[in-house]
Amino acid sequence: MNTSFSIVVPVYNRPEEVRELLESLVRQDFEDSFEVVIVEDGSSESSEDIVQTFQDKLQLSYYYKENSGPGDSRNYGMQKAKGNYFIILDSDCILPKQYLAEVDKELKREFVHCFGGPDAADASFSDVQKAINYVMTSFFTTGGIRGSEKSVGKFQPRSFNMGISKEAFEKVGGFGRIHPGEDPDLTFRIWKAGFETRLFPKAFVYHKRRIDWNKFYVQVNKFGMVRPILNQWHPGTARPTYWFPSLFMLGLCLSIILAFAGIPLPLWLYTTYFLVLFLDAWFKNGGIKVALLAIFAALTQFTGYGIGFLKSTILLNFSNREPEELFPKLFFKRS
């Protein structure tokens, strides 16, 4: 199969991120032509003027539509795209110059209808961005499900950096309305349709994640609420490991109580875990400050996700209402 790439990027009120992404696409060390499709998802801060400045450097298409969420915007872009293999990126990603060459190399080596790539922190990122990136990708916090060769179970691509063939997209119908969680939902439907997914370990992106601590908590809390919904929709995909953040935080609270009661061993085990996390973050990021922030980021991640997961699990199991009625903020209306 001869692949022609269409890069699809939804954007919402982030014109400067689009500039950085397009600049990185101009610098690609890739000989074949490729298309870039920018979908403005009802933004009040338009990126159209910035896109226009790249028209003579890239094969670009720009579309504006009413706000209906990133999943629907990606579908819109893929419907408009001219290629037969779509690469989905978030607007806050920057590509290393070898990115497209690595994707092309992997597809030629062993074609797959859907792939995912890792994310990394660039040296220019802030300490908070590096810490958040670490806990979102580390084996010690997520089990490597977001782009590690140590991933537990079949690899689930994430929509900040994933590819899908036109054939697979048309067969499964693209992304659903849930957000976040639209990417694992799509992956599960891709598997059900008979297609495989694979990690392309060298096709990584620099993912800026321009969020503060409060936004990070809200994000991971939503991740926690979404997972039981996905377990309900796709029963065969539920894993005991999804309970880990909730049990981790409950165990931490219990260990503190036990320590005050004269039983310090459980708290020492938690201390050992955080020490390992600290040393790993220090080694991988080269700074004590980032390592300390990584501990705070991990606690934020486990607390937010754990609370969201427990809340969603309880409501879904003890209510007769549909997920969209229980959690309306997790669903977008289609445009």
Domain ranges of the chain: 5-117+157-210, 228-330
Q: What mean pLDDT is predicted for residues 219-227?
A: 96
Residue 245 per-residue DSSP state? H
Structure tokens at 60: 């670009």
3-state helix, strand, coil in the chain (%, to 5): 50, 15, 35
Instruction: Give the confidence band of 144 by pLDDT, cuts at 50, 70, 90.
Output: low
Q: Tokens 């409501």 correspond to what residue?
A: 315
For the ranges 35-39, 70-74, 330-334, the lowest mean pLDDT is seen at 330-334
Contact status, residue 63 vs residue 80, Cβ threshold 8 Å = yes
pLDDT at residue 145 is higher than 80: no
pLDDT at residue 211 is higher than 80: no
CATH for 5-117+157-210 is 3.90.550.10
**pLDDT at residue number 143:** 73
Nearest to 151 by CA among 179, 185, 175, 116: 116
Q: What mean pLDDT is predicted for residues 281-291?
A: 91
Task: Report the alpha-carbon distance of residue 21 to residue 114 in Å, rounded.
Answer: 22
**pLDDT at residue number 317:** 93
pLDDT digits (tens, 9 = 90+) for 101-141: 999 999 999 999 999 999 888 788 889 989 998 998 888 89
**pLDDT at residue number 150:** 47
61: three-class secondary structure by DSSP: strand
State CA 217 to chain mean position distance.
Answer: 15
Task: Report the alpha-carbon distance of residue 118 to residue 204 in Å, rounded.
Answer: 5
80-91 burial code (b ≥16 CB/10 A, e <16): ebebebbbbbbb
Q: How many CB atoms lie within 10 A of CB 334?
A: 11
Q: What mean pLDDT is predicted for residues 285-308?
A: 95
Instruction: Give the confidence band of 287 by pLDDT, cuts at 50, 70, 90.
Output: confident
pLDDT at residue 97 is higher than 60: yes
pTM, rounded to two decimals: 0.89
pLDDT at residue 327 is higher than 90: yes
pLDDT at residue 95 is higher than 60: yes
Say what percent of the chain tops pLDDT 90. Answer: 82
Contact status, residue 270 vs residue 259, Cβ threshold 8 Å = no
Question: At 274, which helix (H) or strand (E)?
Answer: helix 265-285
Strands of the sheet with 119-120, listed across from one edge: 93-94, 205-207, 119-120
Q: How many CB atoms lie within 10 A of CB 277?
A: 20
Say what percent of the chain tops pLDDT 70. Answer: 96
Q: Tokens 């032509």 correspond to what residue?
A: 33
Q: What mean pLDDT is predicted for residues 209-237?
A: 91
Residue 174 per-residue DSSP state? S
Task: Report the alpha-carbon distance of residue 324 to residue 120 in Å, rounded.
Answer: 33
State CA 270 to chain mean position distance.
Answer: 27
pLDDT at residue 147 is higher than 70: no
pLDDT at residue 47 is higher than 60: yes
Q: Which are the contacts of 84, defined by CB distance < 8 A and separation ≥ 6?
A: 1, 2, 3, 4, 165, 166, 167
**pLDDT at residue number 153:** 58
Task: Report the alpha-carbon distance of residue 143 to residue 137 in Å, rounded.
Answer: 8
β partners of residue 38? 9, 62
Q: What mean pLDDT is predicted for residues 198-203?
A: 95
Nearest to 58 by CA among 29, 82, 26, 30: 26
178: three-class secondary structure by DSSP: strand
